[in-house]
């Protein structure tokens, strides 16, 4: 069932997330964390409130204290997070972590991690990227046999919330078997984490793995089964990020349109100028068709429909392009004000830059669309 | 739900039994379209049979009331019929401006007498209509039209000229915007219907860059139009004109002109071939096609979403302008890509090998998509003002 219009229950969720975030974590919240050079870059109290609201528990099955909801609900939250730019481990933990462990984890892994995820008591993150660009098919991190254990060696970049993570899902090559995912505790010996101070004041880090010993029981899924699992997890991540880019684009667009209706030059509102009207009208079309495509992709992923891979890449590619145009136009149309730190539009531009790189940019996903299309 | 699926099965069975096999092939060129009308010559017996059988069921205009030649289906049932026709590859049994444009306007604004006179004849493909809107001096600024209609006792006397009248030389009747008051702009326009065989009507085809002449210049010289052929009130035509335009825009935005149902990627693979890694041999074209694929999927999803919103009464009517803008620009992009993909093969203008330059002519024809029915620039004006509420005139 394709969801192209939210039903009443989903609208209710959308409204409540919006009210909650506007009240508890508007853009000012991000500024406060950034300006105070907060040690963790996010607010633990707010993260605990995510659990009270049920956001952390959405993708956790009911048997493990979760709500057993779907990617649609997670995308509704993500879209609103794009409007407020709220930093939180929602993407790393409540989406990627919860999805991967509940779909591939052993009973023991699920019991150990999922209840803590649902309660916002643990941060879980996927350590996949190694290059300057997202290239999940080229992984150099090695998992070599060492008696009954594995030894992990490698370096990961752009690992969301790494510095506050309790668990990492490390993507590594097992020679002779292929890609394998390992659930590793962040306190493991040989594992060091370096926080990155990022342009959007959100959180990520480098992870260095130097002979990190893990048991076979830390394999997520099965040895050599990582490629398929990773692709599925990244698809979930990609549509949820696409939803966030959509929310971001829509919000910054709304602010820009409002600005054009109040800023006067040459004795009239600048919104009267056709040169600007046509640009915002074009952007309106981009946003509306992105919205429809993202909704279609989200519900396809949720249902694991056959075309979900193509739709996911189309949605992420389209959302990247639309959000990028929206933030460029926002800064330009706000004129000098758009260049000031005091105005929020710059924050949207910074966040959009990061979300574009996360799980593959428009070019990456366009290539995947071509691959899947057989051309 | 079970009632719905019964209907679907019934539709499927009927279509399988009644749609001639020849009518399940994609059309090869615009000449294969069934337009109906007094002067229409069926291309084949199958084409005639198919139209007549669908007419019999009221399925040429499935949502119109039965009294006017339709089948009285609701939107959901009509969608099922559309889907089942698509699955079987059925051609449209009858296309016409009567169905797409005049019909919806008459259903909303026509008198009972007018509906009974005109709608069944549209539904049965007996009368082919053309649209008398644009004039040499009234293109994007349509409301400045100058064709005069003097209001006399029992008739109107029409004088003036229309342009871009699609298939005027093959049409039986025209729905026409005329000026009945020169002192007011929008408020001085009336909506008339008349027979193209009326004395004083002449048409002259216009040769386009595609080498075809789907449009005409149409001249009116003391044409007498009976009073009863006025739709709505005298000077009340602009509202009807706009309503009809929104249907035209939806049609152009959604239609495209792709008789080739293959995806762009498929067309490119067939024409260009793949390298050892299974990638198109033209890497830049490959990226462009992937972007196009993405935007085409997005546009399709957007149309579906607008339709779903419309069913809930939540769609802004001006969205039709946004769809028209995007859809026509997308179709132009598709044909630019087709030309780039087919390369030298697309350059032939005449000859059986190229179906008389079907590609080159089709490509050139699309350039009109963003002009006809409201230019892209006018569509963006509408979006800016009616959807985004931008200030200014």
Which residues, including other chains, have CB under 8 Å from residue B334's CB and lie 6 or more apart? B256, B258, B264, B292, B296, B366
B contacts of A313 (beta carbons < 8 Å): 294
Reply yes or no on whether the pLDDT at B97 is more than 50. yes
Contact between B304 and A2 using a beta-carbon 8 Å cutoff: yes
How far is Cα A365 from Cα A237, in angstroms, rounded to an integer?
A: 13
Q: Is B23 left (phi over 0), alpha (psi -120 to 50) or beta?
A: alpha
Residue-averaged pLDDT of chain A: 97
Q: Which residues pair with A212 in a beta bridge?
A: A152
CA distance B1 to chain A (A): 14
The burial of B9, by beta-carbon neighbours within 10 Å (0-12 exposed, 13-18 middle, 19 or more buried), is given as exposed
The correct CATH number of B256-387 out of 3.40.50.2020, 1.10.10.10, 3.90.800.10, 1.20.140.10 is 1.20.140.10
Which residues, including other chains, have CB under 8 Å from residue A92's CB and lie 6 or more apart? A123, A124, A125, A126, A160, A161, A165
Contact between B380 and A295 using a beta-carbon 8 Å cutoff: no
Which among B166, B173, B81 has a CA at the least distance from the CA of B121? B173
Instruction: Give mean pLDDT, residues A21-30.
Output: 98
Q: What CATH class has B2-95?
A: mainly alpha
Structure-block tokens of residue B149? 């209609």
CA distance B338 to chain A (A): 15
Instruction: Give mean pLDDT, residues B217-222.
Output: 98
Stretch(es) of chain B classified as CATH 1.20.140.10: 256-387
Instruction: Give mean pLDDT, residues B198-203.
Output: 98
CA distance B201 to chain A (A): 40
Give the pLDDT score at B259.
Answer: 54
The C-alpha angle B46, B52, B53, rounded to 5 degrees, equals 90
Do A252 and A327 touch, CB atoms closer than 8 A? Answer: yes
E strands in chain A: 124-127, 142-146, 149-160, 167-174, 178-185, 191-197, 203-214, 219-220, 264-265, 268-269
Do B18 and B59 touch, CB atoms closer than 8 A? Answer: no
Do B264 and B334 touch, CB atoms closer than 8 A? Answer: yes
* Three-state DSSP state, A196: strand
How far is Cα A48 from Cα A90, in angstroms, rounded to an integer?
A: 11
Interface of A with B (CB under 8 A): 2, 4-5, 257, 260-261, 268-269, 271-274, 277-278, 280-282, 284-285, 288-293, 295-296, 310-311, 313-314, 317-318, 363, 366-367, 369-371, 373-375
How far is Cα A143 from Cα A318, in angstroms, rounded to an integer?
A: 36
Q: Is A41 left (phi over 0), alpha (psi -120 to 50) or beta?
A: left
Backbone angles phi, psi at B262, to 5 degrees: -65, 150
Instruction: Give mean pLDDT, residues A318-346.
Output: 97
How would residue B306 be classed by pLDDT, with cut points 50, 70 and 90?
A: very high
DSSP state of A221: S
Reply yes or no on whether the pLDDT at B256 is more than 60. no
Interface A-B, measured as beta-carbon pairs within 8 A, has a size of 136
The DSSP-derived string for B158-205 is EEEEEEEEETGGG-SEEEEEEES-SS-SGGGEEEEEEETTSTTEEEEE
Reply yes or no on whether the pLDDT at A234 is more than 90. yes
Interface of B with A (CB under 8 A): 263, 265-266, 268-269, 274, 278-280, 286-287, 289-291, 293-295, 297-299, 301-302, 304-305, 308-309, 312, 314, 319, 322, 325-326, 377, 380-381, 383-385, 387-392
Count other C-beta atoms under 10 Å from residue B153's C-beta: 5
Walk me through the domains of chain A, giving residue ranges and CATH numbers: 8-121 (1.10.540.10), 126-224 (2.40.110.10), 227-373 (1.20.140.10)
For chain A, how far is it from start to end, CA to CA, in angstroms?
29
Structure-block tokens of residue A103? 């779909």
CATH topology of domain B129-237: Butyryl-CoA Dehydrogenase, subunit A; domain 2 (2.40.110)
Nearest to B265 among A280, A284, A373 (CB): A373
Q: Is A304 left (phi over 0), alpha (psi -120 to 50) or beta?
A: left
Reply yes or no on whether the pLDDT at A163 is more than 70. yes
Give the pLDDT score at B257.
Answer: 47
Do A180 and A152 touch, CB atoms closer than 8 A? Answer: no
Q: What is the pTM of this model?
A: 0.91
Contact between A289 and B381 using a beta-carbon 8 Å cutoff: no
How far is Cα B293 from Cα B218, in angstroms, rounded to an integer?
A: 40
Structure-block tokens of residue A120? 């916002």
B contacts of A137 (beta carbons < 8 Å): none
Contact between A318 and B390 using a beta-carbon 8 Å cutoff: no
Reply yes or no on whether the pLDDT at A138 is more than 60. yes
How far is Cα A90 from Cα A69, in angstroms, rounded to an integer?
A: 15
Instruction: Give mean pLDDT, residues B317-326.
Output: 94
How would residue B1 be classed by pLDDT, with cut points 50, 70 and 90?
A: very low
Nearest to A290 among B263, B293, B298 (CB): B298
Residue-averaged pLDDT of chain B: 93
Reply yes or no on whether the pLDDT at B261 is more than 90. no
User: pLDDT higher for A159 or B30?
Assistant: A159
The burial of A6, by beta-carbon neighbours within 10 Å (0-12 exposed, 13-18 middle, 19 or more buried), is given as middle
How far is Cα A285 from Cα B319, in angstroms, rounded to an integer?
A: 9
Stretch(es) of chain B classified as CATH 1.10.540: 2-95
How far is Cα A270 from Cα A264, in angstroms, rounded to an integer?
A: 6
Give the pLDDT score at B4.
Answer: 58
How would residue B14 be classed by pLDDT, with cut points 50, 70 and 90?
A: very high
Please state, for a pLDDT cut of 70, what percent of chain A lies above it.
99
Please state, for a pLDDT cut of 70, what percent of chain B lies above it.
96
How far is Cα B108 from Cα A234, in angstroms, rounded to an integer?
A: 50
How far is Cα B114 from Cα B288, in angstroms, rounded to an integer?
A: 50
How far is Cα A120 from Cα A116, in angstroms, rounded to an integer?
A: 6
B contacts of A366 (beta carbons < 8 Å): 287, 290-291, 294
Give the pLDDT score at A28.
Answer: 98
User: pLDDT higher for B260 or B268?
Assistant: B268
DSSP state of B54: H
Do A355 and A204 touch, CB atoms closer than 8 A? Answer: no
How far is Cα B345 from Cα B347, in angstroms, rounded to an integer?
A: 6
Best mutation target among B277, B388, B389, B392 (most A Cβ atoms within 10 Å) is: B388
Nearest to A296 among B286, B301, B390 (CB): B301
ipTM score here? 0.95
Give the pLDDT score at B373.
Answer: 87
Q: What is the pLDDT of residues A78-105, one digit of tens each?
A: 999 999 999 999 999 999 999 999 999 9
Give the pLDDT score at B255.
Answer: 60
Do A169 and A99 touch, CB atoms closer than 8 A? Answer: no
CA distance B65 to chain A (A): 29
Contact between A292 and B298 using a beta-carbon 8 Å cutoff: yes
Structure-block tokens of residue B360? 């080159």
- DSSP3 helix / strand / coil % (chain A, rounded to 5): 55, 15, 30
Which among B335, B253, B368 has a CA at the least distance from the CA of B300? B253
Structure-block tokens of residue B95? 């296309």
Q: What is the pLDDT of residues A144-155, one digit of tens each?
A: 999 999 999 999
**Residue carrying structure tokens 């010996």:** A189
Q: What is the pLDDT of residues A335-366, one digit of tens each?
A: 999 999 999 999 999 999 999 999 999 999 99
Q: How far is CA A170 from the centre of its chain?
A: 17
Residues in chain A: 375
In chain B, the residue whose alpha carbon lies closest to the alpha carbon of A369 is B290
User: pLDDT higher for B355 or A369?
Assistant: A369
Which residues, including other chains, have CB under 8 Å from residue A130's CB and lie 6 or more apart? A138, A139, A140, A141, A154, A155, A156, A157
DSSP state of B27: P
The C-alpha angle B353, B355, B361, rounded to 5 degrees, equals 125
Give the pLDDT score at B3.
Answer: 56
Instruction: Give mean pLDDT, residues B84-113.
Output: 94
* Three-state DSSP state, A3: coil
How far is Cα B342 from Cα B289, in angstroms, rounded to an integer?
A: 13
Contact between B305 and A366 using a beta-carbon 8 Å cutoff: no
CA distance A1 to chain B (A): 13
Give the pLDDT score at B253.
Answer: 63
Contact between A285 and B326 using a beta-carbon 8 Å cutoff: yes
DSSP state of B91: P
């Amino acid at each position: 069932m394709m969801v192209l219009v939210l039903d009443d229950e989903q609208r209710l969720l959308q409204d409540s997330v919006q009210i909650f975030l506007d009240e508890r974590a508007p853009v000012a919240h991000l500024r406060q964390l950034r300006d105070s050079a907060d040690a963790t870059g996010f607010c633990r109290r707010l993260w605990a409130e995510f659990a009270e609201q049920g956001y952390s528990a959405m993708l956790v099955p009911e048997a493990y204290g979760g709500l057993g909801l779907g990617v649609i609900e997670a995308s509704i939250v993500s879209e609103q997070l794009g409007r407020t730019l709220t930093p939180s481990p929602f993407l790393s933990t409540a989406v990627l972590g919860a999805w991967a462990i509940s779909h591939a984890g052993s009973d023991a892994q699920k019991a150990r991690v999922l209840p803590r995820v649902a309660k916002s008591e643990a941060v879980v993150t996927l350590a996949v990227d190694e290059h300057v660009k997202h290239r999940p098919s080229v992984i150099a991190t090695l998992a070599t046999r060492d008696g009954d254990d594995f030894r992990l060696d490698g370096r990961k970049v752009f690992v969301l919330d790494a510095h506050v993570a309790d668990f990492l899902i490390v993507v590594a090559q097992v020679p002779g078997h292929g890609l394998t995912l390992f659930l590793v505790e962040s306190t493991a010996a040989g594992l060091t984490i370096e926080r990155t101070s990022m342009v959007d004041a959100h959180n990520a880090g480098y992870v260095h793995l130097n002979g990190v010993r893990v048991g076979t029981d830390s394999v997520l899924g099965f040895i050599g089964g990582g490629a398929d699992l990773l692709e599925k997890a990244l698809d979930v991540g990609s549509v949820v990020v696409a939803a966030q880019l959509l929310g971001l684009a829509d919000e910054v667009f709304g602010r820009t349109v409002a600005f054009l209706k109040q800023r006067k030059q040459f004795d009239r509102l600048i919104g009267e100028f056709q040169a600007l009207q046509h640009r915002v009208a074009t952007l309106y079309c981009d946003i509306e068709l992105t919205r429809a495509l993202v909704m279609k992709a989200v519900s396809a992923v949720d249902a694991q429909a056959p075309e979900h891979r193509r739709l996911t890449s189309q949605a992420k590619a389209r959302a990247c392009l639309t959000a990028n145009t929206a933030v460029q136009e926002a800064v330009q149309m706000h004129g000098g004000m758009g260049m000031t730190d005091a105005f929020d539009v710059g924050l949207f531009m910074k966040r959009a830059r990061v979300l574009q790189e996360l799980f593959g940019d428009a070019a990456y996903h366009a290539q995947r669309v071509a691959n899947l299309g057989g051309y | 739900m079970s009632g719905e699926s019964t209907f679907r099965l019934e539709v499927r069975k009927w279509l399988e039994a009644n749609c001639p096999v020849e009518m399940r092939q994609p059309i090869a060129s615009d000449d294969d379209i069934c337009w109906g009308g007094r002067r229409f010559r069926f291309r084949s017996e199958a084409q005639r049979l198919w139209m007549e059988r669908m007419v019999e069921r009221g399925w040429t205009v499935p949502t119109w009331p039965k009294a006017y030649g339709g089948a009285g289906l609701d939107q959901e049932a009509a969608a099922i019929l559309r889907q089942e026709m698509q699955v079987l590859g059925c051609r449209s049994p009858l296309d016409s401006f009567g169905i797409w444009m005049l019909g919806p306007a008459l259903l909303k604004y026509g008198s009972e007498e007018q509906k009974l006179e005109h709608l069944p004849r549209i539904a049965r493909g007996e009368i082919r209509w053309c649209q008398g809107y644009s004039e040499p001096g009234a293109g994007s600024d349509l409301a400045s039209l100058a064709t005069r209609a003097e209001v006399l006792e029992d008739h109107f006397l029409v004088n003036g000229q229309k342009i871009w009248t699609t298939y005027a030389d093959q049409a039986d009747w025209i729905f026409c915007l005329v000026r009945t008051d020169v002192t007011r702009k929008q408020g001085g326009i009336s909506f008339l219907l008349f027979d193209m065989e009326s004395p004083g009507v002449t048409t002259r085809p216009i040769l386009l860059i595609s080498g075809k002449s789907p449009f005409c210049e149409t001249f009116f010289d003391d044409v007498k139009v009976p009073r009863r052929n006025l739709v709505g009130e005298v000077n009340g035509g602009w509202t009807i004109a706009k309503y009809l335009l929104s249907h035209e825009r939806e049609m152009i935005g959604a239609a495209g002109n792709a008789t080739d149902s293959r995806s762009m990627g498929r067309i490119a693979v067939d024409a260009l071939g793949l390298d050892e890694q299974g990638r198109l041999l033209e890497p830049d074209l490959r990226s462009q096609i992937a972007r196009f694929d993405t935007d085409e999927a997005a546009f399709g999803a957007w149309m579906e979403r607008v339709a779903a919103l419309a069913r809930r009464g939540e769609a802004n009517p001006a969205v039709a302008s946004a769809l028209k803008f995007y859809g026509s620009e997308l179709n132009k992009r598709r044909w630019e890509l087709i030309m780039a993909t087919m390369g030298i093969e697309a350059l032939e203008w005449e000859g059986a090998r190229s179906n008389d330059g079907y590609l080159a002519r089709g490509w050139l024809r699309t350039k009109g998509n963003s002009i006809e029915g409201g230019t892209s620039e006018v569509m963006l004006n509408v979006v800016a003002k009616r959807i985004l509420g931008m200030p200014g005139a």
